[in-house]
Structure 1
Amino acid sequence: MFSITVRDHIMIAHSFQGDVFGPAQRLHGATFLVDATFRRDELDEDNIVVDMGLAATELRSVTSDLNYRNLDDQEEFKGVNTSTEFLAALIADRLADRIHQGALGESARGISRIAVTLHESHIAWACYERSL
């Protein structure tokens, strides 16, 4: 299995519902380092997994919709706990949509898996991995 990873970051504000979240039930900020890993069994005809520049551009496009936003104010997240795990899956699903739409080039259709990791800090992070 071959893979490449591109990186971005986002800064958001949000709050959570439920006692399990303790003080995070109040509005707070979070800065995430975002890693998107693209995997495939065989390299394409150019001997790459995917064009790293296109992958970075599409990751930035997906994350820009979240960056510098209070997610509590976004209609699509009303009543949703926008946990680190939830956001990792959201970004992975949006990247998968971009691949299916051809935004990363035709050869990117050979990508078999995407993993998105959101690093909350140097000691805590969450990952979501999915098939294409």
Structure 2
Amino acid sequence: MFSVTVRDHLMVAHSFTGEVFGPAQALHGATFVVDATLHRPELDPDNIVVDIGAATRELGEVVGELNYRNLDQVPEFTGVNTSTEYLAKVIADRLSERVAQGAMGPNAQGLTSITVTLHESHVAWARYQRDL
């Protein structure tokens, strides 16, 4: 399996509901390093996994939709604990839609999965992988 990873970062504000979150139940900020890894079993006709420039651009646009936002005020997240794991899935799903729409080029149709990792710090991160 071949893979290419592109990186960006994300800064949000949010709060959580539930005792398990302790002090994070209050509104707080979070900064993530975001890695999107695109997988395919064989290289495309150009001997690449995906156009890195296109993948970087699309990740930047997806992250840009969330960046510097209070997620508690975003209608689609009403009543949702926007945990690191959950946000990794949101980003992976949005990237998947962009691949399906051809935003990463026609050869990106050969991608088989996307893994999104959100690094909360140098000692903690969460990951979501989805098939395409």
Normalised-by-shorter TM-score class: over 0.9
1:15 corresponds to: 15
1:2 corresponds to: 2
Equivalent residues in 2 for 1:30-69, closer than 5 Å: 30-69=30-69
Between the aligned partners of 2:108 and 2:7, the Cα distance in structure 1 is 18
Between the aligned partners of 2:83 and 2:7, the Cα distance in structure 1 is 19
Deviation digits for residues 49-102 of structure 1 (CA, Å, limit 9, x no counterpart):
000000000000000010000000111111000000000000000000000000
**Displacement of 1:105 after TM fit?**
0.4
Counterpart secondary structure, 1:86: helix
2:73 corresponds to: 73
Q: What RMSD, in angstroms, separates the aligned Cα atoms of the two structures? A: 0.3
Between the aligned partners of 1:53 and 1:107, the Cα distance in structure 2 is 14
Between the aligned partners of 2:94 and 2:75, the Cα distance in structure 1 is 17
Query: TM-score if structure 1 supplies the norm length?
Result: 1.00
Between the aligned partners of 2:71 and 2:65, the Cα distance in structure 1 is 10
1:109 corresponds to: 109
1:127 corresponds to: 127
Counterpart secondary structure, 1:103: coil
User: Where in structure 1 are there 5+ consecutive unaligned residues?
Assistant: none
User: Where in structure 2 are there 5+ consecutive unaligned residues?
Assistant: none
Query: TM-score if structure 2 supplies the norm length?
Result: 1.00
**Displacement of 1:124 after TM fit?**
0.2
1:85 corresponds to: 85
Instruction: Calculate percent identity across the aligned residue pairs.
Output: 67
State how many pairs are aligned.
Answer: 132
Letter in 2 for 1:94: R
Between the aligned partners of 1:37 and 1:101, the Cα distance in structure 2 is 18
Between the aligned partners of 1:67 and 1:8, the Cα distance in structure 2 is 11
